[in-house]
Structure 1
Amino acid sequence: MMRYNPSLTVSRLIATKNGHFLYDEHFHLGINILSGCNGGGKTSIIQLLVFGLGYEVPAWKDEAGSCDSVYIGLKANGIDITIRRDINGKEKQPMWFCFMSIDDALNSGIENWKKHSYSSQYGGISFSQKLFDIFHIPEAKADANNNNITMHQILRLIYGDQSNASGNIFNVELFDSAFKRESIGNYLLGLYDNDLYSHKIELIEEDKKLTKLISEISAIHSVVGKTSFSREYGTVEAEKREYLKQISELSQEVINIKLESFGEYKDEKSTSEKIAVNNIKLKTSLYECESEIRALEYDIEDSEQFIRELKDKKSAIKDAIIVNKSISIFSFQTCPCCQSKLNNSKENTCILCGTETNQKGEANENLLRMSSEIDLQISESNRIIERKKNNLKNLKNKRKDLRTNLRKSIIESSSVITSINNKTESKIFGCYQKIGYLEEKIENLDKIAELLNSISELTDERDKIQKRVSELKDIIAKKENIYRLREPEVRECISENLISVLKKDIGSEDEFSLAEYIEFDFASNNISVNGKSSFSESGMVYLYNSFRLALLMTSLEKRYLRIPRFLILDGIENGGMEDSRSKNFQKAIHDLLSDSQVEFQIIFATKSIEGTLNNNNYIVGSTFTKDSKSLKFT
């Protein structure tokens, strides 16, 4: 069979409490049926399964909520992965990943498990982001608050929750919005490609940067407007040089005045020596500060180069996975190097080198582990660089203060001579006043120069970001025009598939058997048949479960859908549905999916199994009863 990616298949589910297995069953491709009486624990197993996959269960069944942990062996795009989530009665639990089959993972040490949190708000990689990376599907925004689409949001559409209101496409949750539902639905229908979503995400970030830069530039302009420098000198530096020249002349004038009365200045020698020592200390500190700045700048550049190498390595790993998948389908008869005949015929071994393998034609699990470790290294390196940049900023401020203090000290050293009489004191005091005034103007010019330099740097950065924002808007507009043509195609396919399911119904709704046109709207969470959207309670249950089935069927026809060829239905008999109608729906599932040449998995729970499906090819485990429930606590 073919496999369309993204693809998700559950192979084994384990629920534990105090180290004991309360549930342990294997699942298979195609149709999987959980059967049992009402109260037998079918919904408990469904809740444990969807929670393990990343869903936030709103109302736990007592038995399911009392479990400690759930382990799920699954194939993501054909790759064996084991995940674990601990329940602990808390929301938004993290997820643990082990890139091995579940049999190997259960016997593996903790060093082979990687933890990912529910959210990435603290700088880490969330488990949804990790799963999306494994599925090779992009991140995308779910709402106007820049919250990402998560596995929970995807499962709201591909998991029919028994407790969900029957007239809703999506499972109901608090703080939901029409925009969010529409974003998730369009994302899963593949109405935009990966580049478009990444460009939209980048545009949001670049727009934020641009807004911040414009605000900073405006603020600095406001400050510069309140300061001034003499335009007759042309530039700040030219005016500063003129003031330094005047200070030098005034300092020399002070010295000349004092030299005329040299005999009266014997006590100034010790003061001058002290100032000279202070100058040396300041120069030494300034040199050390300059050295630290150069070393830190080099260190930051080295760290940024390291991150670029990590990203290149991650990209190479993804390429290696793709190449590995392509090569693994070939059967080599001769060595591609020396052309000698290959005689290795053992199963699960490499045909070239004879090394034992645990996968056939699939990507190396070690590559995924390496990719996960690289993600953590990149995240940690970014935090380290941020700290170094803060240190660099502090060092530059320190350098500025040292330069100012050194200049003042040098001026002071050239001017320290005691006045000999009132007349001399008056002359010297006048020179000192002028020097102080000029020094203050130089400090003001330094601030202006710094502000003007900041404006220049920020303006360059603003122009660069503005250019990128314009490029992104053009790219997004072009792509949206292209992919807007895809929407009617996929909607028509879903409608046709839904009509084919409805026409097989044996219920009393005439609109189902006479269905001609379907309208569905993710934003309003509503479906209508021939313009009618209100039916009996059991009819609503049938309609909305049929819609989810139509989504799965469409994903088997259209490769570009991001629905992972996976569906879970709980409560197909809700709304007082008769057993005969439920069994007919089960037969419709089988008949409509049996000819598919694309891998899929559907898991549903029922208390009454349709006759042709009542065998081990479809049933998972045993039938649950009140005396033998799904979770074995004793």
Structure 2
Amino acid sequence: MKNNTSVYDQFFYQGINIIRGDNGTGKSTIMDLIYYGLGAELSEWTAEPLSCDKVFLEVSCNTGIYTLSREIEQTGKSPMLICEGDYLSSTKTENQWLKYLNRRSDERHSYSQQLFDMMNLPQHKNNDSANLTIHQILRLMYLDQITAPTKILRYDTNYDNANIRQAIGEYLLGLDDLDIHELRQQLIELERDFSKIEGELKAIYKLLSKGQQDFTADKLHAEILAVESEIYQSLQKKEEIRFKTKKELDDMQKEQAKLILMEINKCTEKLENLHVQSSFLSNEIIDSTLFLQSIDYRIKSLLESKITNESLGSLNFKYCPACLTKIETIRQDDICGLCKSPKNEDSTKKSYLHMLNELNFQKRESEKILQSNKNLLDEIKTKIPELENLLSMSKLNYKDYLQSNSAMESQIAEISNRIGFLESKHQNLKERLEFFANIEALIKEKQQLVVKISEVKDALAAKKEKTKNRLLEVCSQLETTTMNIVKMDLGFEKDFENPEEFEFSFPRDTMWLNGKSKFSASSMVLLKNSFRLATLVESTKDINYRFPRFLLIDNIEDKGMMPSRSHNFQNIMVEMCEELENPYQLIYTTSMISPKLEGGNYCRGIFYKKGTHTLELNKI
């Protein structure tokens, strides 16, 4: 519709419907509009349909006749209006139209859910992101010209992955009990959460030294209690000093000054040793890294040498590569063709294997040493700041003793400095406790996810086991029917004449005939269409299929299809469909209709000549 005027109005009957016309007359436009009107998301429009306002479709479903309406938007995600009854009656009433969004809301479910209900198709009972939508199942019902002929499903740039493709196939062929797709979605979410937590923990561990990684909340709690106890004792000691005699304080000051000086010397010596160790380990790490690089290069060179040896061993030189003198040819496998020395291939292979094993052993041992040195260096880098803080505090205390006017002042100053240090340490330990508590929470959550993932995998395996027989039965029948169709081709592809096996995979979006997944472009089109026709045929025979028995084919002459080959396939489609007993609808387009079908009961509308268009926009 454009400006409330119909620019294309055609009745499509149950069974076969053919739209014919020259290339460029808008046959694909009609197929895209049907595809979009049924609920697909379509954003790649040509100018003609995009200039229109709305598309209306009258559809017959399991529960009755309905009229669907969607505004044509560039995004392809416009809502759908649904009215119960045929198109003519829907134009006479306005208040019976119900509006549905492409995603469900709190007030109303999506148009996908409504269409599934109208077709009496079961639905997954989980969230929108995991549900199959009408857009997804239409991907198996529409063969367009843009999608590569090697692909089973219509291309989708927004919602396509192996899991979704598998769910589409299993759902429409009736291979699952609806729980399998939901379990797969749960597994994906659980594994995503697991990977996220594992990544966070790896990043944390990378920042921590080996010694810090061994900390636990219990250890930190114990250390905090010890620091709190020392702070309490220092405060008590500070109070006791006020009641000491001058002589006692002087003696204590001298003894404390001596202890502080010893502590300063001790810390200085430790710091010097740690800096020496740090420098040594840094050099060792650099040397080990370079040594490992050299081992990798030697392993690579050894493997290249082995390949070269094997290649040259099979060559017979006619002239000496050094002086170009003709070489006497001796055709013996155990004699070198160049120097005539005896060859022992077993001994050569053993030598290569021995050297490779030796290099790999050196690499493993060097990697262990490298990692050990890195861990030691991390521990040292953690200890150095702690010792530097302790040394600074001790020097400050010693300075206070030297500058103090009285023994009491120096004693109190020393204890106050110690209390300040302990309080700072206490705060640091509390922050670390919170940090490690978060780590332990992540570890606990990771462990819970491992259990949940295992449970979902077990449930998924049990469900798959129950549907195994159904899977084998459906796949076998589909494969047989597809091969029977392919056999009727006119001999354009040798493998099609008497195929021995046909396989398909929805997750991989691929088909194989006699083990091959690629043929000429036109042969791939015919194989793809044969498989889709087989799906339609089998869906009318098997009540467990959920395929809506509806097919849009817009690629009959795609990829350079010869007229005779196209005519033959059209005749095959019609003959097979005419034998079907249950209701179905097939709509296909062609620019070279089979002479047997031209002008017959299956043709819809005129033959659109070059220069005309299916959309009569000149009406407006």
Output the TM-score relative to the length of structure 2. Answer: 0.55
Shift of 1:623: 6.2
1:193, distance to aligned residue in structure 2 (A): 4.3
Match for residue 592 of structure 1 among 560, 579, 583:
579
Amino acid at match of 1:475: A
2:588 counterpart of 1:601? no
1:101 offset after TM fit, Å? 3.5
1:567 equivalenced with 2:551 (yes/no): yes
Note closer, same or farther for the CA distance 1:462–1:160 as it changes in structure 2 (3 Å cut).
closer
Q: Which runs of 5+ in 1 are unaligned?
A: 1-15, 141-145, 261-419
One-letter amino acid of the structure 2 residue matched with residue 491 of structure 1: C
Distance 1:219 1:524 in 2: 37
Select which of 451, 456, 476 maps to 2:460.
Answer: 476
| Partner residue, 1:41 | 26
Give runs of aligned pairs for residues 140-539 of structure 1, distance below 5 A. 154-162=137-145, 169-170=152-153, 183=166, 186-187=169-170, 188-217=172-201, 223=208, 226=211, 236-248=220-232, 250-251=234-235, 425-498=409-482, 501=485, 517-522=500-505, 523=508, 525-526=510-511, 528=513
Q: Name the residue aligned to 1:96.
A: 79
Q: Deviations over 1:309-355 (max 9, x none)?
A: xxxxxxxxxxxxxxxxxxxxxxxxxxxxxxxxxxxxxxxxxxxxxxx
Q: 1:436 to 1:153 in 2, by over 3 A?
A: same
Q: Does 1:17 align with 2:21?
A: no
1:184, CA displacement in angstroms?
6.9
Shift of 1:570: 2.2
Residue deviations 1:206-254 (CA, integer Å, cap 9, x gap): 12222333444455566486559999x9854455345445545555666
Return closer, same or farther for 1:619/1:545 CA change in 2, 3 Å cut-off.
same
SS in 1 for 2:563: coil
Deviations along 1:234-293, whole A, 9 cap, x unmatched? 854455345445545555666788899xxxxxxxxxxxxxxxxxxxxxxxxxxxxxxxxx
Q: 1:234 to 1:55 in 2, by over 3 A?
A: closer
1:577 is aligned to 2:563: yes
Which stretch of structure 1 is more off in the superposition, 159-168 or 551-560?
159-168
Q: Which amino acid aligns with 1:202?
A: Q
Change (3 A) 1:454 1:51: same
1:60-89 residue CA offsets vs partner (Å, 9 max, x unmatched): 55533443443445567648776665555x
Partner residue in 2 for 1:391: none
Secondary structure of the equivalent of 1:444? Answer: helix
May I ask how many residue pairs the two structures share in their alignment?
Answer: 441
Name the aligned partner's letter for residue 574 of structure 2: K
- Alignment partners' CA distance in 2, 1:132 and 1:431: 79
Q: C-alpha deviations, 1:506-544, integer Å up to 9, x for none?
A: 95669899757552444584564899986895x776554
What residue number does 1:115 align with?
A: 101
Check conservation: 1:80, 1:100, Cα contact below 8 A: no
> What is residue 64 of structure 1 aligned with on the other side?
49
- Paired with 1:555 and 1:609, the residues of 2 have a C-alpha distance of 26
Once the two structures are superposed, what CA deviation does each residue of 1:591-621 show, in whole Å capped at 9, x if it has no partner? Answer: 232x12xx433222346588899687x6656
Q: 2:163, 2:184 within 8 Å by CA — same for their partners in 1?
A: no
Identity %: 28
Tell me, yes or no, if the aligned pair for 1:506 and 1:584 is still in contact at 8 Å: no
Change (3 A) 1:173 1:479: closer
Alignment counterpart, residue 530 of structure 2, candidates 546, 551, 554: 546
In 1, Cα distance between equivalents of 2:493 and 2:435 = 76
SS in 1 for 2:589: strand
Q: CA RMSD in A?
A: 5.4
Residue in structure 1 matched with residue 16 of structure 2 by the alignment: 31
The alpha-carbon deviation at position 456 of structure 1 amounts to: 3.6
- The 1:184/1:62 distance shift into structure 2, 3 A limit, reads farther
Task: After superposition, give the CA deviation of every residue in 1:460-503 in whole Å (9 maximum; x if it has no partner).
Answer: 32222111112222233344444444443222212343355567
CA distance in 1 between counterparts of 2:226 and 2:462 reads 57
Per the alignment, do residues 81 and 95 of structure 1 end up closer, same or farther by CA in structure 2, a change over 3 Å counting?
A: farther
CA contact (8 A) 1:517 1:530 kept: no
Matches of 1:219 and 1:632, distance apart in 2: 63
| C-alpha contact 2:81 2:97 (8 A) present in aligned 1 | no
Relative distance call for 1:536 and 1:479 in structure 2 (3 A) is: closer
1:552 Cα offset (Å)? 0.8
TM-score normalised over the length of structure 1:
0.54
Aligned pair in 2 of structure 1 residues 230, 201: CA closer, same or farther (>3 Å)?
Answer: closer
Contact 1:73 1:82 survives alignment (8 Å) = yes
Shift, 1:433, TM fit: 1.5
Shift of 1:550: 0.8
Report which of the two structures shows the higher radius of gyration computed on alpha carbons. Answer: 2
What residue identity is the alignment partner of 1:441? K
Report deviation, 1:55: 5.4
Alignment deviations for residues 120-158 of structure 1 (CA, whole Å, 9 cap, x no partner): 9xxxx9987997898545599xxxxx9998766654543
Distance 1:456 1:213, change over 3 A: same
